Amino acid sequence: MRNANIISCGAYAPARVIPNHYFDELLGEDVSTWLEEKVQIFERRWCAEDESTADLAEQAAQLCLERAGVKAEQLALIILSTATPEFVSPSTASVVQHRQGAQNAGTFAINTACAGFVTALDIGAKYIRADEQYRYVLVIGAYAMSKYLNRTDKKTVTLFADGAGAVLLHAAPSSTSREGFLASELISKGAYHSWMGIYGGGTRQPISEAVLKNHDHQLKFVRKFPPELNPEIWSQMARNLSQRIGVAPTEVHRYFITQININAIWETLDRLDVAREKGHTIMHRYAYTGSACIPMAFNDAWEKELVKKGDLVYFIGSGGGLTFASAAFLI
């Protein structure tokens, strides 16, 4: 059986840097101390006024292809995950396909919020395993949440940021070492669908004066999530992957987990008896980039040579909905 291997990656963040003191001035209170001491966020990147999700995705995709030495016309499929699409319709993936000149690639976009990249990675790997016409599949996570932030809401405006990351999957014969995609899992907790999101602008609440007045067209935390929720589910997903592929969680070389709260990542690794340094983090400079954060973290580790051929890595993501996704790869 053919398998899907990760052969390249790329990432991009906007040039505009927003330091913590920007919010001290914006909100008229000290938020820097909490951000730096409690969640270890020091700065983030926001799009320029004329920059959008497709621009970020395009840059990450281009770097990924250049590193692989693969031409855009060799792509069979582009899967793009985002909760901040270029348009309500058509798909942002179509925009990126056109800009890349990937005329032979099919496209679609998915939205499972911040679990989207890992979900898309799972889908891309299974396309390759199921159908021989898919040799190269480009998977992108992109996020431009600064466009949807209420500048007076300190619960969201200080945490969310913009960026994009991409990986290139390549079809290769399955080897005795099981290189490439090994296992995955998707979980949803739909009872939480109304707890966080952008609720104005869809068919339930089309844009109107009332929607704008109530800031329903912008990101909102409606209710506070139980703090143990992510660590419980992330650690269980890691155990499930480990059981399926016959390894202990301590044998995994790197964990790439949703980058919204460093304490939740640490608690997850502690529950698994895994050294905290195995959980690679980038929120310190990029804050929370949603569906882009996991491929951006992977790209950062790749560039720093912290992942190499033969390493076992776990991708574990979660997002509004609630949605959860995990995947194990042998690089």
Domain ranges of the chain: 2-173, 180-330
Mean pLDDT of the region 112-132: 96
Q: What is the pTM of this model?
A: 0.95
CA 89 to chain centre: 21
Q: Which of 14-23, 29-38, 125-134, 196-205 has the lowest mean pLDDT?
A: 196-205
Surface-to-core class of residue 28, CB atoms within 10 Å of its CB (0-12 exposed, 13-18 middle, 19+ buried): exposed
pLDDT digits (tens, 9 = 90+) for 242-298: 999 999 999 999 999 999 999 999 999 999 999 999 999 999 999 999 999 999 999
pLDDT digits (tens, 9 = 90+) for 63-98: 999 999 999 999 999 999 999 999 999 999 999 999
Query: Cα(60)–Cα(44) distance, rounded to whole angstroms?
Result: 17
Residue whose entry in the numeric block shows the structure tokens 């304490």 = 263
Q: CATH homologous superfamily for 2-173?
A: Thiolase/Chalcone synthase (3.40.47.10)
Measuring CA to CA, how many Å separate 265 from each of 20, 54, 189?
22, 29, 20
Write down the H helix ranges in the chain.
21-27, 32-38, 53-68, 92-100, 116-130, 154-157, 209-213, 229-245, 262-271, 283-286, 293-303
Give yes or no for a contact between 117 and 257, defined as CB atoms under 8 angstroms apart.
no
Q: Return the exposure string of 148-157: e unless at least 16 CB atoms fall within 10 Å of the residue's CB, then b.
A: bbeeeebebb
The answer to whether the 2-173 and 180-330 domains have the same CATH topology is yes
Mean pLDDT of the region 221-247: 95
Residue whose entry in the numeric block shows the structure tokens 């720093």 = 304
Specify the higher pLDDT residue, 61 or 207. Answer: 61
* Domain 180-330 in this protein, CATH class: alpha beta
